[in-house]
Amino acid sequence: MSRFWSKRARGLEPYVPGEQPRERRFIKLNTNENPYPPSPRALAAIREAAGEDLRLYPDPLCTVLREAVAETYRVKPEQVFAGNGSDEVLAFAFAAFFPSAGEGEAGAARPVLFPDITYSFYPVYAGLWDIPFRTVPLTGDFSVNAEDYLYPAGGVIFPNPNAPTGRALALRDILSVAGYQGKAGRVVIVDEAYGAFGGESAVPHIGEFPNLLTVHTLSKAASLAGLRVGFAIGREELIRGLSRIRDSFNSYTLDRLALAGAAAAVSDGAHYDEINRKVIATRERVSGRLRELGFEVIPSAANFIFIRHPRLSGAEVFAALRERGILVRRFDTPRIRDYLRVSMGTDKDMDEFLEFMEAVSKKAPKGNAEGAGDEGYCGRGI
Ligand SMILES: *Cc1c(COP(=O)(O)O)cnc(C)c1O
């Protein structure tokens, strides 16, 4: 704390991003980056944009990118909003659509609903904008139960597939939530960060549901986490709401290099189909092998898997992997402290990972696989 901080700054609970080690010695399976290179056409477009025109501001309307998204997703450019990473788009969407405390009838806004186990940035945005929220527990097998969201609320947000579980929710369930919340005039946001790896997109239904917004990123499937580009698709009035927030904050959130590279990437479906087929094949192979080794693997529709060993604590497996030079992600929160989220790397990286996990599982204490609880392991020195 500092006496120079505003009340707002003091009250924040910022998001803690996954580690980005400065040295290259780690096999990095901790932030769901794509292990394969981005579209060569995107890189060429970025190089081409790196010229004297950089003295000029970029297009605040992001026209080239919105047109490319519109063509690829079969929507209108007016139904696309672009931002500096989908994190920014999400932050704007919380501000644009979810009621803050004191806004509701009788001065009490209904809380926004999202799963108890989900992208950990959502409660941070809610805190930033003073938006009340309520988390809805996933079922015992970590599924979203859509009926839990048929409930008067300030709005709803969840990723599909969900993170960090990797589980996808059926499209008909998403649409039932959108229909229910739409009748109450509330917005439903589907964060499709991992949509290219599985699950069904809600984009074809934005016409039917004026309250449905999908959010997308180029950081995962498009291998461009370093470029910082995301976008949202929804009806024109939602897009205009996002633009109002952006233009009250920073009209030029996407620079010239990002716009050029992202537009080219979005148009290069062939490249991404090829690399992401490989990611999916790796996910299936690694999941199968880990199950053979005795790990529990939540069925994943994303580019990562969520795993647990029935007789080893998440903390000790995490530490052993790190020691071996393999970074994965662990969330020290209720229900999931013993799970690790493992991003899919190249097949060579994953072979090294599997080799180490085999050694880990051999050193695990013998016993009943059902013996695992939520917490309370002691170190067993793997
Ligand atoms: C990675 C991720 C994002 C953020 O993507 P950026 O475009 O890199 O900001 C958003 N939502 C979910 C669920 C993610 O996992």
CATH number at residue 55: 3.40.640.10
pLDDT at res. 379: 39
Is there a domain that residue 256 lies in? yes
CA–CA gap between residue 233 and residue 86 (Å, rounded)? 12
- 246 in the same domain as 114: yes
- 302 in the same domain as 286: yes
* Residue 287: CB atoms within 10 Å: 20
- Among 62-66, 165-169, 343-347, 377-381, which stretch is predicted with the lowest mean pLDDT? 377-381
pLDDT at res. 107: 66
- 306 in the same domain as 255: no
pLDDT range class, residue 195, cuts 50, 70, 90: very high
pLDDT range class, residue 373, cuts 50, 70, 90: very low
CA–CA gap between residue 374 and residue 313 (Å, rounded)? 9
Structure token digits, residue 236: 């024109």
CA–CA gap between residue 126 and residue 118 (Å, rounded)? 14
pLDDT tens column, 284-331: 999 999 999 999 999 999 999 999 999 999 999 999 999 999 999 999
Domain hosting 334: range is 7-30+270-363
For a mutational test of ligand 1's pocket, the pick from 220, 224, 228, 300, i.e. the residue with the most ligand atoms closer than 8 A to its C-beta, is 220
For a mutational test of ligand 1's pocket, the pick from 87, 118, 189, 253, i.e. the residue with the most ligand atoms closer than 8 A to its C-beta, is 87
Quick one: average pLDDT of 79-100? 98
- On the CB side of 184, CA atoms within 13 Å amount to 20
pLDDT at res. 378: 39
Quick one: average pLDDT of 118-131? 96
pLDDT range class, residue 368, cuts 50, 70, 90: low
User: What does each C-alpha distance from 9 to 12, 13, 99, 104 come to in angstroms?
Assistant: 6, 9, 20, 25
SS (H, E, C) the chain: CCCCCCHHHHHCCCCCCCCCCCCCCCEECCCCCCCCCCCHHHHHHHHHHCCHHHHCCCCCCCHHHHHHHHHHHCCCHHHEEEECHHHHHHHHHHHHHCCCCCCCHHHCCCCEEEECCCCCCHHHHHHHCCCCEEEECCCCCCCCCHHHHCCCCCEEEEECCCCCCCCCCCHHHHHHHHHHHHHCCCCEEEECCCHHHCCCCCHHHCCCCCCEEEEEECCCCCCCCCCCCEEEECCHHHHHHHHHHHCCCCCCCCCHHHHHHHHHHHCCHHHHHHHHHHHHHHHHHHHHHHHHCCCEECCCCCCEEEEECCCCCHHHHHHHHHHCCEECECCCCCCCCCCEEEECCCHHHHHHHHHHHHHHHHHCCCCCHHHCCCCCCCCCCC
pLDDT at res. 372: 46
**Tally of domains in the chain:** 2
pLDDT tens column, 6-55: 999 999 999 988 888 887 789 999 999 999 999 999 999 999 999 999 99
- 156 in the same domain as 290: no
Evaluate if residue 282 carries a pLDDT over 80: yes
CA–CA gap between residue 296 and residue 275 (Å, rounded)? 27
CA–CA gap between residue 231 and residue 245 (Å, rounded)? 14
- 120 in the same domain as 93: yes
Q: Is the pTM of this model over 0.85?
A: yes
pLDDT tens column, 131-162: 999 999 999 999 999 999 999 999 999 999 99
Mean of all residue pLDDT scores within the chain: 94
- 119 in the same domain as 56: yes
- 189 in the same domain as 73: yes
In short, whether 159's Cβ falls inside 6 Å of ligand 1 is yes
pLDDT at res. 366: 82
| Percent of the chain surpassing pLDDT 90 | 89
Ligand 1 atom closest to residue 87's alpha carbon, by position in its atom list: 9
Quick one: average pLDDT of 343-355? 98
- 348 in the same domain as 229: no
pLDDT at res. 362: 92
pLDDT at res. 235: 98
For a mutational test of ligand 1's pocket, the pick from 30, 119, 125, 158, i.e. the residue with the most ligand atoms closer than 8 A to its C-beta, is 119
Going from the Cα of 24 to the center of ligand 1, the distance in angstroms, rounded, reads 23
CA–CA gap between residue 17 and residue 273 (Å, rounded)? 28
Evaluate if residue 255 carries a pLDDT over 60: yes
CATH number at residue 316: 3.90.1150.10
Is there a domain that residue 374 lies in? no
- 306 in the same domain as 173: no
- 216 in the same domain as 244: yes
* Sole residue written with tokens 């690829």: 72
- 164 in the same domain as 302: no
- 67 in the same domain as 12: no
